[in-house]
């Protein structure tokens, strides 16, 4: 059983990738949260690894950024 998945290396890598992609797309945490339909604190907690995304949330997050979720998964599934 895996414990501490919020602070795992895989989560750190994935969240850094999402943050980089958000910035590349020109979004602030606030503008991204508006697209996703969540409070801006949600994006902050995700990016600061205070909260992890479930798979459905991850896909929604990627869709909001117009990025391929598989690209992010490949970064941690090697």
62: nearest Cα among 9, 17, 11, 6: 17
pLDDT at residue 1 in the model = 40
**With contact defined as beta carbons under 8 Å apart, do 49 and 77 qualify?**
no
Q: CA angle, 66 as apex, 54 and 34 as ends, to 5°?
A: 70
| φ, ψ of residue 41 in degrees (nearest 5) | -65, -25
pLDDT at 70 over 60: yes
Q: How far from 8 is each of 4, 22, 35, 50, CA to CA, in Å?
A: 6, 21, 27, 12
Span 41-60, pLDDT tens digits: 999 999 999 999 999 999 99
Span 8-39, pLDDT tens digits: 899 999 999 999 999 999 999 999 999 999 99
pLDDT at residue 17 in the model = 97
């Amino acid at each position: 059983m895996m414990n501490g998945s919020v602070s795992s290396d895989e989560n750190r890598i994935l969240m850094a990738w999402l943050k980089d992609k958000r910035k590349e797309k020109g979004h602030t945490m606030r503008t991204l949260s508006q697209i996703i339909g969540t409070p801006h604190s949600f994006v902050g907690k995700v990016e600061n690894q205070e909260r992890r995304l479930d798979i459905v949330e991850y896909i929604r997050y990627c869709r909001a950024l117009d990025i391929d979720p598989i690209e992010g998964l490949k970064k941690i599934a090697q």
